[in-house]
Chains A and B, each alone.
Chain A
């Protein structure tokens, strides 16, 4: 075979390898976004599952907070029933707010603050909150990577052919960016 033919074959092979690498890189990024969304979702579910225990351990002491506890319980039921992703995120965000209120109000119940059971639960919730925050950051980074890949040359050409579009990042509330710590609410 002539040198010219070898060059054509070699060039074609390199091009093919590049296309395969680009395709795999895009698929990797897309899958990572889905994985990270799944991780956030699983952790949010874990937090929702902790609510019955939380309510059970505080309702004895926090009789004056019945309204708040009822709202939390109702919100939990709604989260479990909804299938719409956007609505779920909105409900989760509301739940976070109510939980924060509940933790602030615990200040008024010294007996509850001394309860071993509650302290354990408080630590568990703090841990899940930290994990949710980490998962959201991971999701946002995965989305940023994905968005960069579908907008940067040459992967944008392939993304255009596959009809892929930009994804939205989670909007992390300002107070969460400061790495909110549940135990802060219990400081003297």
Chain B
């Protein structure tokens, strides 16, 4: 921990130094130079200084991963691959991302026994117009967080998707009928979740009364809203910052911060135990 705090201090010092130097270079260039190539040299020097500061921060983050995260995860039989992630096909097959998007990115893969998780990000380019009528394109994040995939003891042949409950016109005006929506016989569960599946019997076989109670408890304890059961896998997602985004630069590294960074892993382990434990009890 001391070593990483030392590296953090070095990175912070370089960032502060870079800010001072860039301001200094800008001041001197603007004050004393009148020739275009003076400005060009000033710009190049400023870029070099910024580059050095960024590389110091990147080095600190890579060391944080190598010296703190990887050993900590490995001690729990978990393996971390910062550059790897889920393929787009895997993410889409989860049925948890039913929105339009333009770009997909995934990294920070953690692999454990019977589970894996990775950071995924979906973005979309959207046209917007300002008050003067000029249109411009902005990148909107549709989802940024962790996709978690767990092995599940009970196999389903089709799929069973659980989402937060929403309004259904067919409940009050029976002019439409959605065959894939599974109305469950637990009013409390129905208030919280909507269930979708092609197979009415299979969905109820999976979600028996004790399992519905378990999911209600998980919703109350861990705010679980999305679950997708496909074959012997369960997919879920949580919106949370990537590991590197929570690495502190200004404040010292301590256990509390590491716990905050690794929250998605803890969450996935908790889910793995809870969702499969539900079957052990029956």
Contact = CB atoms under 8 A, between A and B. Distances in A.
A181 B170 CA distance: 35
Nearest to A43: B201
Contact of B179 (A32, A39, A135, A137): A32
Contacts of A145: 174, 177, 183
Interface residues of B, number: 21
Given A179-B282, A181-B282, A135 B201 contact: yes
B200 A36 contact: yes
A152 B175 CA distance: 10
Interface centre among B175, B177, B204, B209 (most CB of A within 10 A): B175
Given A25-B175, A179-B282, A141 B185 contact: yes
A158 to B, nearest CB: 10
A134 B201 contact: yes
Nearest to A42: B201
Contacts of A155: 174-175
A32 B180 CA distance: 11
Contacts of B176: 21, 25
23 contacts: A21-B176, A25-B170, A25-B175, A25-B176, A28-B177, A29-B177, A39-B201, A130-B205, A131-B201, A134-B201, A134-B205, A135-B201, A135-B204, A138-B200, A140-B185, A141-B184, A142-B200, A144-B183, A154-B175, A155-B175, A178-B209, A179-B209, A181-B282
Interface of B: 170, 173-177, 179, 182-185, 200-205, 208-210, 282
